Amino acid sequence: MKLTNLRVWNLVEPVGYAMNAPVFSWTVEEAQGEQAFARTTVRVNGETAYDSGEERAADSLGWKIRLPLLPRTRYDYTLTVQSTSGERATADSFFETGKRDETWTAKWISPRQSRSCAQLRKRFTVSACTESARLYMCGLGVYEVWLNGEKVGDEYLAPGYHAYDFHLAAQTYDVTGRLREGENELIIALGEGWFKGRLGFEGGYTDLYGDRLYAIAELYGDGVLLTATDESWEELHSPVTFANIYDGETWDARIAPDLLGNAEETEPEHCGVLQDRVSLPVRAFDRFSVKELMETPKGDTILDFGQNMTGWVEFRSRLPEGTSLTLTAGEILQDGEFYHDNYRTAKTEFTYISDGQERMVRPHFTFFGFRYMKVSCTCPVNADDFTAVHLRSAMPGTTVFACGNPLVNRLYENALWGMKDNLLEVPTDCPQRDERLGWTGDAQAISDTACQSLYMPAFYRKYLWDMRAEQSILGGSVPNVVPRIKRDMIGEHGSCPWADAGVIIPFNTWRYYGNTELLRETYPGMKDWVDCQRRREEAIGGPHLVKDGFHFADWLALDNPQPGPFGATDPLYIASAYYYRCAQIVAESANLLGFAEAGEYRDLAAEILAAIREKYFGADGLCQIRTQTAAALAIVFGLTKKVQEQGDVLYELVAGNNSHLNTGFVGTPILCPALSSTGHHDMAVTLLLQEDFPSWLYSVRLGATTIWERWNSVLPDGHMNPEGMNSLNHYTYGSIAGWMLSWLCGVRPALPGYRKAILEPRPDRRLGHAEAKLDTAAGRFVCGWRFEGDTVHYHVEIPFGAVAELRLPGQRVQELSPGKYDF
């Protein structure tokens, strides 16, 4: 028996994160039976600060303890778990607080000379070696910090992208062993980032949160303040002369870090309170060598890394002094030539000008979405000098899937890459063009699949934190993008199903991870969105339906005979369906949390459902809107009592479309689940296996390594769709991966956090075999099947402390305890 995945607030060994009280979680491996009790002892400097005793009610999905937390304090803890079989395991871990509500001695400072990129320096003396050292700081827009010539920490683009007008995030760095006796040097390098660099369409906006750069920092050794930012800090010439999220970066290594003068003490205006971080760090993950070095007919030199990704390219420079090398990002080639038009106004270039010294070179204050890089340089290019580095927020993958069809396996990988690439700080729509914003509709559409594929609760906690902040000035309405650019169309709010992310995402997070404390934290925002909708629709009068407003609805569906991005399904039907589902979720959440208002929202949901059935359903109980999306919504959201008959209608709609889908952002994530759950799993697999347009494998056949924004972002001849809006790295249609896990392999949570799971594998001879391995909040589940002649073999595994309801075709339902089984 052993304990793994020890976490506090869904983080492994967190340092400097915002929390009012610790919430522990863990998993158990290599054990039999169930948990009998758990015990946690917490120590500070070796002294016991808390001892839970043997707690039978301790929940491994989320166990909150009552421990007042001090600022800048390390808490070591020991977790002991005993099983009902008598086995026992113990594991140690720790968490550490940041500044919390402690007053900062440091002052905010800002460079006087530069508004785009700058360096701030402090030289200070340390009289003796320290056993422990911590740096607490924040830089605006984005920053990297260097202590005695070495980069501090392993994260990039700190402090990240959040709603700066509501809160500013401070990071904590362990710099133990990095200080030396005598003189030390601390340098903070700053770039524009999201804080003041341009964001938005058609040129976007600059200085959204401030028109200058800022930094604040305190460095402690053995608990004693060694240095803090103030007006004595120096401003230096920065070798990075330009940096922008959309346009890239220019690094002139010939520029010496000469002194420009002293920094100015000045605070950011119109910004929120500085507090401990909530967001995950952005880190480097996969690395790719050049797959092919090519020269195009026009003479351009192109590096192909073989995978569309988010990040940057680093290289070893051996260039003569004064020689420049420029990398320009691209996702696709056209007629063998470099193509960049789908990036719109984003230049996405990294230029390095050599000082003649050999060194490794990378960007500091930007990132790109790319598979290809065009190299512009007067010197020969050696492919071995270049490496592509994938960046994302630090979320581990949790799932492995494989089947007998290599195209489907590639599709699953594409979906996974689409999520990883668009989960950098916020759940973005795309990582490459002049957008990269936290679109709420895209985020809610993929949230079910994301929670099955990656460890998402800490990432969503930060996103929902920002969302609630934005809701606070919108009467509970949820913006189209979070953080909200408070101008023009991208500043709008309350559109279905974008705004419904405020309820769907936290509910999916609770459903897949079972952390009640996280649900409690997010519940106010969930309730506020439903209340906002109720006020709006009641002001118009009539039944509880959404009756007006702009709604993206089934965005980019293919079923509308009219040109444009809007689907044919009535947007008010979709909006009312989501209104019902959100009210239903809030009622369920209130009941779980013990709030008396649960009955109020249960009644509201019932009234909405009755109104939907009255307006949109016929006497036969079926939806009168004859689209795939409308039928799938009726099934998955429980709008109809005639579920099987509605499933038959959906089957007919798909079959009548030559067994192809025509759904958009609403219909696609629920289409195959609606078919599989109503006895039409064969048709769902048929949709999965279609290879011509429109289908998932259409893009795979054309060489895609991520998910596209449109079903036909690339035409069969390899050219980009002339309609525009063609990102080759979106994730919404990658929701099919969730169906592969939950219906094809059949692993679904019956209780939150998979404490009880449904294992309902659906074998299909066309695939030969399929298996999913899910590292859930409760532990690892495995469910797979394979054909051997006329026999189907099943293999399932259930982790410690969980049970599963096994549903095999044609067999009685079995309840299985932890263990490994073959059938």
SS3 519: helix
Rounded to 5 degrees, φ, ψ at 612 are -60, -45
Cis ω for the linkage preceding 257 (within 30 of 0): no
Q: What is the pLDDT of residues 172-218, one digit of tens each?
A: 999 999 999 999 999 999 999 999 999 998 889 999 999 999 999 99
Structure tokens belonging to residue 590: 């209130």
Q: How far apart are CA 750 and CA 753, in angstroms?
A: 9
Q: Place 137 in a pLDDT band, splitting at 50, 70 and 90.
A: very high
Q: State the average pLDDT over residues 509-538.
A: 97
Q: What is the pLDDT of residues 322-347, one digit of tens each?
A: 999 999 999 999 999 999 999 999 99
HSE at residue 397, side-chain half, CA atoms within 13 A, is 14
Rounded to 5 degrees, φ, ψ at 647 are -65, -40
The pLDDT value given to residue 119: 98
- Whether 338 and 358 have beta carbons less than 8 Å apart is answered as no
Which has the minimum average pLDDT: 111-115, 244-248, 370-374? 111-115
SS3 481: strand
Residue 820 CA to its chain's centroid (Å):
32
Q: How far apart are CA 532 and CA 536, in angstroms?
A: 6
The per-residue DSSP string of 2-41 comes to EEEEEEETTBSS-BSB--SS-EEEEEEES--S-EEEEEEE
Q: Place 817 in a pLDDT band, splitting at 50, 70 and 90.
A: very high
Q: What is the pLDDT of residues 473-523, one digit of tens each?
A: 999 999 999 999 998 888 899 999 999 999 999 999 999 999 999 999 999
Cis ω for the linkage preceding 483 (within 30 of 0): yes
Sign of the torsion formed by the C-alpha atoms of 199, 205, 207 and 213: positive
539 has pLDDT over 90: yes
Q: How far apart are CA 290 and CA 305, in angstroms?
A: 5
Q: State the average pLDDT over residues 733-749.
A: 98
Q: What is the pLDDT of residues 574-596, one digit of tens each?
A: 999 999 999 999 999 999 999 99
The pLDDT value given to residue 575: 98
The β-bridge relationship of strands 234-236 and 118-126 is antiparallel
129 has pLDDT over 90: no
Structure tokens belonging to residue 215: 């930094």
Q: How far apart are CA 816 and CA 756, in angstroms?
A: 10
Q: Which residues contact 381 (CB under 8 A, 6 or more apart)?
A: 293, 301, 303, 375
Q: State the average pLDDT over residues 545-562.
A: 96
The pLDDT value given to residue 202: 82
139 has pLDDT over 90: yes
Structure tokens belonging to residue 304: 């192909």
Per the rule left: phi > 0, alpha: psi between -120 and 50, beta: everything else, 744 is alpha
CB atoms within 10 A of CB 274: 20
- Whether 371 and 291 have beta carbons less than 8 Å apart is answered as no
The β-bridge relationship of strands 142-147 and 282-289 is unpaired
120 has pLDDT over 90: yes
Q: In what order do the strands lie in the sheet with 234-236?
A: 150-151, 142-147, 182-191, 118-126, 234-236, 259-262
Residue 410 CA to its chain's centroid (Å):
21
The pLDDT value given to residue 128: 86
The pLDDT value given to residue 32: 83
612 has pLDDT over 90: yes
Structure tokens belonging to residue 650: 């959906």
Q: State the average pLDDT over residues 107-127.
A: 95
Q: Place 724 in a pLDDT band, splitting at 50, 70 and 90.
A: confident
- Whether 31 and 289 have beta carbons less than 8 Å apart is answered as no
- Return the beta strands (E) in 684-778 as ranges: 747-749, 756-759, 769-776
The pLDDT value given to residue 413: 98
108 has pLDDT over 90: yes
User: Degrees (nearest 5) of the Cα angle 160, 165, 167?
Assistant: 60
Q: Place 614 in a pLDDT band, splitting at 50, 70 and 90.
A: very high
The per-residue DSSP string of 86-138 comes to S-EEEEEEEEE---TTPPP-S--EE-SS-SS-EEEEEEEEESS--S-EEEEEE
The pLDDT value given to residue 115: 85
Q: State the average pLDDT over residues 281-308.
A: 97
Q: Which residues contact 529 (CB under 8 A, 6 or more apart)?
A: 471, 476, 477, 478, 499, 500, 502, 503, 582
CB atoms within 10 A of CB 612: 25
Q: How far apart are CA 23 and CA 20, in angstroms?
A: 9
Q: State the average pLDDT over residues 614-639.
A: 98
Q: How far apart are CA 629 and CA 631, in angstroms?
A: 5
Residue in 415, 417, 413 with CA at minimum distance from that of residue 390: 417
Q: What is the pLDDT of residues 659-681, one digit of tens each?
A: 999 999 999 999 999 999 999 99
HSE at residue 76, side-chain half, CA atoms within 13 A, is 8
446 has pLDDT over 90: yes
Bridge-partner residues for 483, per DSSP? none
Over the chain, what is the mean pLDDT?
A: 97
Q: How far apart are CA 224 and CA 229, in angstroms?
A: 15
